[in-house]
Structure 1
Amino acid sequence: MGAFMLLSCVRHGESTYNAENRVQGQTDIPLSELGILQSEAVAQALADSSVRARSDRGVVTDVNAKADVQVEAVFERTEHRLWPPIELVWSSPLRRALQTAQIIARRLNVPIVTDPRLKELDAGVFQGRLRRDLETLFPEEYARWLAGDLDFVIPQGESRRQLMTRGAAVLRDIAAGPQQHVVVVAHGGLLTAALRALLGTEHTLNPFALQNASITRLRIEPAGVTLIELNNTEHLRDIGPASGGDL
């Protein structure tokens, strides 16, 4: 990592299970038709906000010229929402995230790298169930989940604390790479857990609600982590409502 790394974190577009209000966890579910449209919209938003060259007085500044001062100058122009060029897309290997990542990478003309640590929480016995049925099927377990117990392990799954540890570790590893700006396509639960760990809000119940195809930006540098943008969905206004929540 150089002076800093900018992570543009994207929750995948709506999946077929999101549309049914069904728990996904690590079940490999594809995008819905709406999710594909959302992914195309977020890809365009990322392309529009990442600049490869800029001219203030008719002279083009090549941001790819490896001059740190030029990249910093572009980054600091946040009032225009211009960021350093996106060089890489990281993705969960689960289909709903990978489909989203492929649409983004194709629009940006950058490669994709997958990492299994970016998968959603393993929701164990909750997976594949309609949310409205969980209280009846698993009354004790679902109550503990809703209470936000960090160490409660969903039967046959994992806990929020395990997810926070995994999520924070993978984002820090990504931030240690040589790029200046990357996209991370993952899941609502994973990204929320990672944010809680990195920003020191572990004991706050659901402080970050990330909608499908939203953009959340982090600046990670040796001095710490800064949340720059949270759950930006402006690019989805003409498409329709996006789902929130985790899992």
Structure 2
Amino acid sequence: MNLYLIRHAESVNNARFRDADVIDLSLRDPDPALTDLGRVQAEHLARFIAHAAEPYTQHPHGRALLTHLVVSPMRRAIETAQAIARQASLPVEVWDDIHEVGGIFDSVDDQQQPLPGMTREEILALLPDAHLPPSITERGWWHQTTVETFAQAHERAQRVAERLRAYAAAHPEARLGLVSHGIFLTLLVRVLVGAPFREPLPAYFYHNNTGITRLEFIQPHEIAIHYTNFIGHLPSECLTY
């Protein structure tokens, strides 16, 4: 199986933090939408996935890069997947375990307060044909009473890695796209390649908005990294982080 890890397009928070030149939690939206530029990025990404040849290979144009798509339940990922699903006509499944580190939370008076996230109805309004797990209800999907720690996110990345290994064993010919988030993608790649966990992390896998990393599952615990953070689908004026 080939796995394509995709970071979401530019979110409102990405733009706010860039403009402020600092990560100020008082500026953040708990579950931000895409910016106008982010929507343009998502369309470039979707067009590339629907029609482009595999980067760095001689595969012919005309086939979709992906056969299946899974996506985080956070709004910025859902809106990115919406563009891909529309242009590439892909089946979409929402995985509630590939969200960004921390989960959904608001920052009030320097206190982080968990929030439930998008409801089942809200997600299906954007992805009407998507398959959602029972854990996503009309009360949202983030059911924790605390904000996820970095160590807990690492443990979640380990569980997702096992889930992906099982998926690869069941679907060896699949080309699976996974739309997720910058920090979680770093944790997931590190787990898949066997890197040890330490805080702070000694190395990150950088992903621009809509950057693509391709991993191939050779054996359950043997991974080939074909490329990381491919952004050839974006014109230079659309590059953001």
Give yes or no for TM over 0.5: yes
- Mapped to 2, the partners of 1:46 and 1:84 lie a distance apart of 6
Deviations 1:21-64 (A, max 9, x none): 1559993211111111111111122223457xxxxxxxxxxxxx
Structure 1 residue 85: Cα displacement: 5.1
Asked if the contact 1:26–1:122 (Cα under 8 Å) also holds between the matched residues in 2, the reply is no
1:197 equivalenced with 2:191 (yes/no): yes
Report the equivalent of 2:123: none
Describe the shift of the 1:84–1:40 C-alpha distance in structure 2 as closer, same or farther (beyond 3 A).
Answer: closer
Structure 1 residue 207: Cα displacement: 2.6
Structure 1 residue 176: Cα displacement: 2.5
Code of the residue aligned with 1:43 in structure 2: it is A
- Mapped to 2, the partners of 1:84 and 1:107 lie a distance apart of 10
- Mapped to 2, the partners of 1:8 and 1:90 lie a distance apart of 10
Describe the shift of the 1:226–1:187 C-alpha distance in structure 2 as closer, same or farther (beyond 3 A).
Answer: same
Q: Which stretch shows the higher mean deviation, 40-49 or 97-106?
A: 40-49
- Mapped to 1, the partners of 2:164 and 2:178 lie a distance apart of 9
Describe the shift of the 1:109–1:9 C-alpha distance in structure 2 as closer, same or farther (beyond 3 A).
Answer: same
Identity of aligned residues (%): 27
Report the equivalent of 2:11: 15
Structure 1 residue 123: Cα displacement: 6.4
Given the two structures, how large is their TM-score scaled by the length of structure 2? 0.68
Higher helix fraction: Structure 1 or Structure 2?
1
- Mapped to 2, the partners of 1:123 and 1:205 lie a distance apart of 23
**Larger radius of gyration between Structure 1 and Structure 2:** 1
Structure 1 residue 115: Cα displacement: 0.9
- Mapped to 2, the partners of 1:32 and 1:84 lie a distance apart of 26
Code of the residue aligned with 1:116 in structure 2: it is D
Code of the residue aligned with 2:58 in structure 1: it is H
Poorly superposed stretches of 4+, deviation over 3 Å: 22-26, 48-51, 81-85
Gaps of 5+ in 2: 18-22, 112-145
Given the two structures, how large is their TM-score scaled by the length of structure 1? 0.67
Deviations 1:134-193 (A, max 9, x none): xxx69xxxxxxxxxxxxxxxxx42332321221242243134232511110001111111
Report the equivalent of 2:178: 184
Describe the shift of the 1:170–1:13 C-alpha distance in structure 2 as closer, same or farther (beyond 3 A).
Answer: same
CA RMSD of aligned residues (A): 3.1
